[in-house]
Amino acid sequence: MEHMEPLGGFANLSAQSLARLCFVSVRTARRWLRAGMAPKLAVEWLVLVHRGDLSKINAQWSEWCLRRDGTLGNAHGWQFTVHEIMAIPFLQSALSAYRVEVRRLRDKLKRSQALQPVTVTMTMQLPATSLSLDDFATFEPITFLDAARTSATA
């Protein structure tokens, strides 16, 4: 014999309603109502159907319920339609693609920052007679970026 549980508040249902909800004959529903007991699985099914309490399916769903409007909700006020739930795989795929693109752009930015020109100013003491300021007008400043390009092409 199956483990029986009290029907509790479900004992107020009509035999026809109980039979329809539990997919049993009206005769079986009447027997359950007379005893005030039903198989544990039937009572858990009633709790799921009537209250939407998903903890009867699995304890990990203890804070979630199926609402009468067809949405899935939780104790924190989150509510999702069936279409939003069905979109989750698409959203995960899009998020994954965005993460790859962000990683690619971040790497590109790091590489471009590594090649940014850096101007270095050097001070040296020259003898007064060796060079004049006019001699420096012909020198072009060298940057680390230029040096990197020169060594890369050499």
What's the angle, vertex CA 44, arms to CA 2 and CA 15, rounded to 5?
Answer: 80
Which of 137, 101, 13, 93 has its CA nearest to residue 22? 13
> Is 132 in a helix, a strand, or coil?
coil
The rounded distance, in Å, linking the Cα atoms of 138 and 68 is 84
Instruction: Provide the pLDDT for residue 89.
Output: 92
Q: Which portions of the chain are predicted below pLDDT 70?
A: 1, 116-154
Instruction: Provide the pLDDT for residue 119.
Output: 63
Task: Enter the pTM of the model.
Answer: 0.48
Instruction: Provide the pLDDT for residue 29.
Output: 97
